[in-house]
């Protein structure tokens, strides 16, 4: 029996799950620290789910029409699905109880690792700044229904008077995002297990029905991506098989397949030809479908779930009207889950009223969905006032001071090819070797050191006016003195200042550049309990004054070793901000690059001989459609080169990248023309070095040997093995030794122990090479 309840006219694909004041983050970390029990953590989570349902109902979604999604997660939705279907990595099989389940403590262990058992791999979720945990599935992985947590959450909602819509990662996307287990044979694909997985999904669908669900949402963003390393015809055949079989389930809710982050293209007719009842199309990143007709519900994702602009509501409504040429049954939704944006613009008292009038956070976007749903039901005239108000705000934004700066645009217009190029690498290498005198296997860190409670306390006191600027600066200088002394005692070759003065690697620069605004409560989830506050890039960008020079020169005064100046690159500043949507990203990136170019040249003039420009998000913004790759790689690489091309040959430019599939952008990494590139590699056991070797990459490279996203302390032997793997594939003169990423989120005890082991392993490798 299949539910026949109509699909709601308006809905969202998901909502922020961390809490308006990061209640989930705080509770989860308290549980990890042993400060609260599992029952207390579960109670906090249940309260957050209840508050979310009530809030969404108050904003205009229905209590009993399945418009409210049930999409909570303690850590990650892909990990949730893996645990639900029994896809537990072999090294964590000890966590599986006799009844086949994994408890909450075991769930977190898979995410974070324990002892010698490394956590699941982590990488970017499509073209967003969210990170998911990569499932490991082999031919012998014992797939079975191992958790009914989502079913219990649906029952919880039903008991409290709601009829919600459970959300799961769809079966095709789940398997396409998985990687083969270590013991899988050559040529094996996790997608080969589709027929074993589908009966488990069918069990879940039946359980959802029993719990009161009338609709289920299966997220299939992999269907819009051309970056999946599986032939498209195989993906489409798997999609047809999956939804034919699930659609034929004897007892199930109606099925809504959502496909955020781009156009479904040739997957749309495939889905139309299955028994699913509703299909979601992203009309923000994707194109309006054409050439197909259906009587299924087409859910138009016209409200941008990935950015915070109020947008053109009249154009969004027009897109929904156009969908009626495809299906008479049209509904409205957000383009993606709203967990990519903060909760509420009304919770930002420090932002100016004009800027706030241009913005829509999650709550405002729910309101926009409700408005457009009313228009679909009652006609455009019923919402004309709201449409006009949004259009007026758009016009005001376009004309506002600072959105367009004549001097910034004139400088960008005068750029020539010479502004994007440095001299030959051979000449630069010789000049740098003469200037820096670094040893074989030089060691460094990525930039940040642990942000202690004392640092945060000083920052908060300064913000509240409780201490003077000089008192604050002295507190930061004391921390820098301590960090420099620590690095010298451990034996690190290239020193960093530890970035104590920076609250965030993007926000810090946003606070010091014109054209940006920062939020007070605009938190979004990056991974697990890690949250960030993306800045708002609303206008033309320029640098009114030097930003980092004073801190770097102070650090250099403390040591005879080279100090590395630390900047965030233009692509990452864009990727980790909410960026203006009224001009091409290329233009915005070049504006940011020119501001950074000024900073780099000032650092060089102040005697800083090594400057790192971090670009961890280079892969993140790569479009999901191949036709868009060349243009993106051209402007993203170009903006980095524009920022860094003004220095002398003897100044060594570093960059850093993390948590991405590097093979996809290895050529672009090479074209950045950085003298040294550090990359994440520890968690994947140096998988990336094979791509480096085959590409012929010829400049300095530092594949990470210490996974800083886990609290584990890697042993000397483990690090030595990784260094050996790197030296086996990369010419030894190129290899640097460093952690995967910055140390901001780690504690000092584990950091000191881990870095000490890194240096011990490095010395052993040096001794071995000298024999």
Q: Which sequence positions are flagged as catalytic?
A: 709
CB neighbour list of residue 465: distance below 8 Å, 6 or more residues apart: none
Helices 194-211, 149-159: inter-axial angle, 10-degree rounding: 20
Q: Beta strands 179-180 and 136-137: pairing type?
A: parallel
Q: Which two tokens stand for residue 255?
A: 């099925």
Q: Which two tokens stand for residue 472?
A: 């604050």
End-to-end CA distance of the chain: 74
Residue listed under structure tokens 């996203």: 709
Residue listed under structure tokens 């139309």: 272
CA quadruple 270, 273, 275, 280: dihedral sign = positive
List C-alpha distances in Å: 406 to 412, 413, 486, 596, 604: 10, 10, 47, 19, 28
Residues in the chain: 771
% helix, strand, coil for the chain, step of 5: 45, 15, 40
Q: Which two tokens stand for residue 560?
A: 């005879």
Q: DSSP assignment, residue 113?
A: -
E-state strands within 451-607: 514-517, 524-527, 530-532, 535-542, 564-568, 577-579
| CA distance linking residue 31 with residue 584, whole number of Å | 44
Q: DSSP assignment, residue 288?
A: P
In 3D space, the residue among 214, 217, 212 whose CA is nearest the CA of residue 152 turns out to be 212
E-state strands within 455-570: 514-517, 524-527, 530-532, 535-542, 564-568
| CA distance linking residue 342 with residue 18, whole number of Å | 10
Contacts made by residues 149-152, CB under 8 angstroms, sequence distance 24+: 149/80, 149/84, 150/70, 150/80, 150/84, 150/204, 150/208, 151/204, 151/207, 151/208, 151/210, 151/211, 152/211
| CA distance linking residue 687 with residue 691, whole number of Å | 8
| CA distance linking residue 701 with residue 687, whole number of Å | 14
């Amino acid at each position: 029996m299949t539910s026949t309840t109509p699909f709601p006219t308006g809905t969202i694909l998901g909502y922020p799950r961390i809490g308006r004041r990061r209640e989930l983050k705080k509770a989860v970390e308290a549980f990890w620290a042993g400060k609260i029990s599992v029952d207390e953590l579960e109670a906090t989570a249940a309260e957050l789910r209840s508050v979310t349902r009530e809030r969404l109902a108050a904003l205009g979604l229905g209590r009993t029409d399945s418009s409210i999604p049930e999409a909570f997660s303690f850590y990650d939705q892909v990990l949730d699905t893996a645990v639900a279907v029994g896809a537990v990595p072999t090294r964590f099989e000890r966590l599986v109880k006799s009844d086949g389940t994994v408890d909450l403590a075991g769930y977190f262990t898979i995410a974070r690792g324990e002892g010698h058992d490394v956590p699941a791999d982590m990488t970017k979720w499509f073209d967003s700044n969210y990170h998911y945990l990569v499932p490991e599935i082999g031919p012998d992985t014992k797939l079975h229904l191992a958790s009914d947590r989502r079913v219990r959450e649906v029952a919880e909602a039903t008991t409290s008077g709601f009829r919600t819509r459970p959300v799961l990662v769809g079966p095709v996307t789940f398997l396409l995002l998985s990687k083969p287990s270590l013991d899988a044979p050559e040529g094996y694909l996790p997608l080969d297990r589709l027929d074993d997985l589908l009966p488990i999904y069918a069990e879940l669908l039946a359980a959802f029905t029993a719990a009161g669900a009338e609709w289920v949402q299966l997220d299939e963003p992999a269907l819009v991506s051309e970056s999946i390393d599986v032939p498209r015809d195989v993906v489409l055949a798997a999609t047809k098989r999956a939804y034919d079989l699930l659609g034929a389930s004897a007892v199930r809710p109606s099925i809504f397949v959502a496909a955020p982050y781009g156009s479904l293209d040739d997957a749309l007719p495939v889905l139309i030809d299955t028994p699913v009842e509703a299909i979601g199309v992203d009309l923000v990143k994707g194109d309006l479908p054409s050439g197909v007709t259906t009587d299924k519900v087409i859910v138009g994702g016209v409200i941008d779930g990935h950015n915070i602009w109020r947008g053109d509501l009249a154009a969004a409504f027009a897109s929904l009207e156009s969908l009626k040429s495809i299906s008479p049954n049209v509904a409205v939704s957000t383009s993606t889950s709203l967990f990519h944006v903060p909760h509420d613009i009304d919770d930002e008292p420090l932002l100016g009223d004009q800027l706030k009038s241009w913005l829509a956070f999650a709550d405002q976007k729910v309101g926009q969905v409700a408005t457009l749903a009313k228009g679909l039901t009652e006609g455009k005239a019923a919402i004309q006032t709201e449409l006009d108000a949004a259009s007026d705000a758009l016009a005001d934004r376009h004309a506002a001071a600072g959105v367009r700066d004549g001097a910034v645009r004139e400088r960008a217009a005068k750029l020539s090819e010479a502004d994007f190029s440095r001299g030959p690498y051979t000449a630069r290498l010789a000049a740098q070797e003469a200037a820096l005198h670094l040893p074989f296997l030089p060691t460094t860190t990525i930039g940040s050191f642990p942000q202690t409670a004392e640092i945060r306390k000083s920052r908060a006191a300064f913000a509240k006016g409780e201490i003077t600027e000089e008192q604050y600066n002295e507190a930061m200088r004391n921390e820098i003195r301590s960090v420099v002394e620590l690095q010298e005692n451990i034996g690190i070759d290239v020193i960093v200042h530890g970035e104590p003065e920076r609250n965030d690697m993007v926000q810090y620069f946003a606070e010091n550049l014109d054209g940006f605004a920062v939020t007070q409560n605009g938190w979004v989830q990056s991974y697990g309990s890690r949250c960030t506050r993306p800045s708002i890039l609303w206008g033309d960008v320029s640098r009114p004054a030097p930003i980092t020079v004073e801190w770097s020169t102070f650090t250099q005064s403390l040591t005879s070793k080279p100090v590395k100046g630390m900047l965030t690159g233009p692509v990452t500043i864009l990727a980790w901000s909410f960026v203006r949507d009224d001009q091409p990203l290329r233009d915005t990136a070049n504006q940011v690059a020119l501001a950074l170019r000024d900073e780099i040249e000032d650092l060089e003039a102040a005697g800083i001989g090594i400057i790192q420009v971090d670009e961890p998000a280079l892969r993140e913004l790569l479009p999901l459609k191949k036709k868009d790759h060349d243009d993106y790689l051209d402007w993203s690489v170009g903006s980095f080169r524009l920022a860094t091309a003004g220095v002398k040959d003897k100044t060594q430019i570093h960059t850093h990248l993390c948590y991405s599939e590097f093979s996809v952008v290895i050529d672009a990494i090479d074209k950045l023309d950085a003298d040294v590139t550090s990359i994440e590699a520890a968690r994947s056991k140096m998988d990336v070095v094979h791509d480096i070797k085959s590409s012929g990459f010829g400049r300095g490279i530092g594949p990470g040997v210490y996974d800083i996203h886990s609290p584990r302390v890697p042993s000397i032997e483990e690090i030595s093995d990784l260094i050996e793997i790197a030296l086996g594939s990369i010419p030894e003169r190129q290899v640097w030794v460093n952690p995967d990423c910055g140390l901001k989120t780690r504690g000092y005890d584990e950091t000191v122990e881990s870095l000490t082991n890194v240096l011990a392993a490095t010395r052993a490798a040096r001794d071995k090479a000298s024999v």
